[in-house]
Structure 1
């Protein structure tokens, strides 16, 4: 292919000017008005060969020597891939018709004087090139895979498949093209991969992460799986899928709904008291000593080389190496021994406040900077993620365990800090374990080091990755750790699956390492261009149109694979999830729930009784606000006065003048509190503080609540009933001479259990039940008497199969034909 320049003769009467990009007029003029006399030339630069046309009395093309910029050069293959240009887009022969060239008048006011438009020529050439490219590329590259029967493989090497076959192959979807239609697509999990999933909101990104994660959990027990959950939706994978449409579609995919039994959900330790117990399994925390000065600065939003950043770095180094305190009139100076790599936030704060160099008037830092940094560390303690010991890495990454780190409680910068440290720890641990002498070295190390280093090859899943590894000059506490993770993780066996709705906002250092990409629907041109540029394979021209990506259905992805066995990008339909997915959009019409007026009144009475039982007194305004809230939520019309009358009938005391309602026998203790405060000693204050801390520690632990149900009759009524029975001698052994020596109120332990129930409206609703500790039966109070269940205690000794049958009968669940033999065997 060569580039040519053509000299064109200019008409006699026209005075030549430089070409202008003006409005292009498609006017036809007779050619006999032109009488060329001299040659005036301008250059038309064209990529490709122009087919030579016959000369007319107007134009006289003359060949001219090529300029340097138009010379043909060979472009390296790496550059072609980097810029997203592929062989299929090159046009070898380009024909340009002379009538396609547009003309425009040199002087807009003068008729009949025209010149050729360079802009028109350029546009026509590009249009011809595009149309020729589309015709060529649509049929140039057939779709080919590494294939075995009806199964095709993505990311798998031929040598690996020949040795291991279907082992570790993850079933993720089906081919959605005419070529190889509905072939099952399997993703390799035996080798490390960097998988990028992108798409707009609601297109199925988080869903795909769940599909890959559950396949790993079910089919590859030799790897650790860690899912970072910034929106709190992956904990539901322990339950089987209950979505009606997906259950109907599972027959096509030959799969059954199944919850994951090897799922373990971690939440920050500081959030345990605020989180329902059935939504997590354990808590996690981090040693502050794992953070570098850069980590702290990025998390706090401090310039690394500002005075505050330098102060932070100095304080951390002094804590590790040791420092000397400042001598004051009250305290003598003394040396503090270095903590090494085991220290907490309190140690850093103590150094900032007491170190002699930091607080020196001559060589130290400003006290404003010291106080500001102390305040930031104080706030960090309230994040609930720091502890002097920290959770061992082996708790997160373990063979056969799907770990979910729920960071939805944390701010983005704190989440980034957790992920950055985790990625750094995984990379360091795996580098050591892949060495030949690693097993021998473990024998010489202590227990803590074994727990930190003994981790398997790990798959790390990250959602909303644009907040963690943003593009440009923006850095987060996760940036450096994740970049090193993807760059160096292949040899240690580390894989990354990350998803985002903004592919143009991801750091290119991470995108350059990906080998598999799944692109769902995108709507912005910048994101679409970023995907095309980073797709590691050939993209057919029919898929390169922006309108194609913008109109992809939900659950369909344009998939690219770097493996040599996959010839080009292809369309894939994602299979349904076997486990429950909680990442669906909330529908306001479905979330509405209605209760009758009586049910709302009963609910309001129950909540009000509980508050009075705990606090003894309540403002009437709060009761009114409670009733209004329940009426709005459940679309009811429970009356305030009716509820007041019922509470008064139960013995509550209403004081309308003070605007309060209190339980019977309640006495204010303000006077006693004032006296106690005046006479309380310092020792008592310390003891009280210790009790408060102990109480808070107990509240953090999940415990079933002991419920005290108010007695149906008072002590006075009990005495009257006893005396009446004694006089009538109904008790047989009691006579008139008998007297009541003492009367005691005895309690039977009743357990109150709070749980989340998946209701018919496809949402989790909070509910409660009561269990009699003496019988093990469920207990229900209908307002008049206690009712006990029958047979609930026998379920304690039932096997899992028997419990499944009971659940199936209770839900009237139809047992599939495939499970008929198992059902008969179990029954």
Structure 2
């Protein structure tokens, strides 16, 4: 018998699902097959210590989503480990850029560390509100009327020149429509520093949400973000929070993977209707999960977590149940393993 997790009994039994793995039998043998609902939008969180399979699990989910006609996985890849998904038809964007207009005035102030009410922040806000490219924003600032102090203009120009040097912006950058085509998309952020990587992800996550709010696209997006703690700590955080807390109604699914759940805002854990927990040992990380999970799992969470790589404790809020699962083998090579000195030469 195959179990479908994330799905209520009243849901359509023929709706799309993905093969996640199999139950972990007590004697170590594989039990019944486990599938996961891919029909309805979900908010998910994959956690675990380094080396225990969280990125691997995210890759399995992306492989399954790539087969669903009405869905499209968009993988934000800060470590450059998901390129092999091209073998199942994914498009890999190795130099991702977004337009300056994808961020909006508030995001520009956040990105540059400027208070919107400060003279420099106010000028950058005006430029972002009036222009739709970074070059045009710089021209706007340079041509600001004489009421703007020269020092204010110079400071704003310097901030925008710094942003330009990051290489994360171009007028014809990625849009939501580019991501919602017929194939999965891997957005390789590994070549960008933290600030531009956050800017690109904020633009893309916000764009996907806005596109779905305007009307259902041909394919519903699943935004999969590896090392998600690095983005909840940056300028991408507001867009990710929106996708997490409000995305399901218009059709945006969000799944983040992290080895540091204690570094996430509490809402990132409490809003997840699917929690896939690999091995964790940090008291802070275990506490963060326990504090935000329902009573039917929180009290014994640390005692029930698996010990071996590839095994997860899956908490399914749809059925208010907990399952011990071994994740299936990837169909595409996994690029998340550590290099070894013995492999050189």
State the TM-score, normalizing by the size of structure 1.
Answer: 0.40
Selected match of 1:557 from 312, 333, 338: 312
Secondary structure of the corresponding residue to residue 159 of structure 1: coil
Distance 1:557 1:431 in 2: 33
The equivalent residue for 1:229 is 77
Does the CA-based 8 Å contact 1:157-1:563 persist in structure 2?
A: yes
Q: Would the alpha carbon gap of residues 345 and 207 (structure 1) be closer, same or farther in structure 2, given more than 3 Å must change?
A: same
* CA–CA distance in structure 2, aligned partners of residues 540 and 295 of structure 1: 36
Question: 1:587-640: CA deviations, max 9, x gaps?
Answer: 11112x1xxxxxxxxxxxxxxxxxxxxxxxxxxxxxxxxxxxxxxxxxxxxxxx
Q: How many Å separate the matches in 2 of 1:287 and 1:297? A: 16
Instruction: Look up the SS of the partner of 1:160 in the other structure.
Output: coil
1:468 to 216, 231, 248: 231
Counterpart position of 1:344: 133
Separation in 2, partners of 1:574, 1:540: 22
Partner in structure 2 of residue 487 of structure 1: 245
Residue 166 of structure 2 corresponds to residue 393 of structure 1: no
Does the residue aligned with 2:211 lie in a helix, a strand or coil? helix
Q: How much has 1:559 moved relative to structure 2?
A: 1.2
Equivalent residue number for residue 143 of structure 2? 354
Q: Please, which of 175, 180, 190 is the counterpart of residue 23 of structure 2? A: 175
Q: Structure 2 matches for 1:695-714, cutoff 5 A?
A: none
CA distance in 2, matches of 1:300, 1:541: 42
8 Å CA contact 1:516–1:536 kept in 2: the answer is no
Cα distance in 2 for residues equivalent to 1:384 and 1:533: 40
**Displacement of 1:511:** 2.4
**Structure 1 unaligned runs (5+)?**
1-149, 239-258, 269-283, 321-338, 435-453, 471-475, 594-827
Q: Are the equivalent residues in 2 in contact too, given 1:197–1:500 (CA < 8 A)?
A: yes
C-alpha distance in 1, partners of 2:40/2:289? 24
Query: Which one of 164, 186, 195 corresponds to residue 44 of structure 2?
Result: 195
Match 1:296 to one of 87, 90, 108: 108
* Map 1:225-374 → 2, pairs under 5 A: 225-238=73-86, 259-260=87-88, 262-268=89-95, 284-317=96-129, 320=130, 343-356=132-145, 360=146, 363-365=147-149, 367-374=150-157
**Are the equivalent residues in 1 in contact too, given 2:47–2:259 (CA < 8 A)?**
yes
In 1, Cα distance between equivalents of 2:43 and 2:223: 10
On the 8 A contact 2:98/2:169 being kept in 1, the answer is: yes
Name the structure where strand makes up a greater proportion of residues.
2
Once residues 560 and 492 of structure 1 are traced to their aligned partners in structure 2, the CA distance between those partners, rounded to angstroms, is 24
**2:204 maps to 1:422:** yes
Q: TM-score, normalised by structure 2?
A: 0.92
In 1, Cα distance between the equivalents of 2:206 and 2:64?
Answer: 26
Judge conservation of contact 1:536–1:560 (CA < 8 Å) in 2: no
Q: What residue number does 2:192 align with?
A: 410
Q: How many residues align structurally?
A: 344
**Deviation (angstroms), 1:177:** 4.2
What is the CA distance between 1:536 and its match in structure 2? Answer: 4.2
Q: Which has the higher contact order (CA 8 A, sep 6+)?
A: 2
Query: Once superposed, what is the RMSD of the aligned Cα atoms?
Result: 2.2
Distance 1:234 1:528 in 2: 27
Distance 1:466 1:541, change over 3 A: closer
- Give the 3 Å change call, closer, same or farther, for CA 421–431 of structure 1 in structure 2: same
The answer as to whether partners of 1:225 and 1:460 remain within 8 angstroms in 2 is yes
The Cα shift of 1:181 comes to 6.5
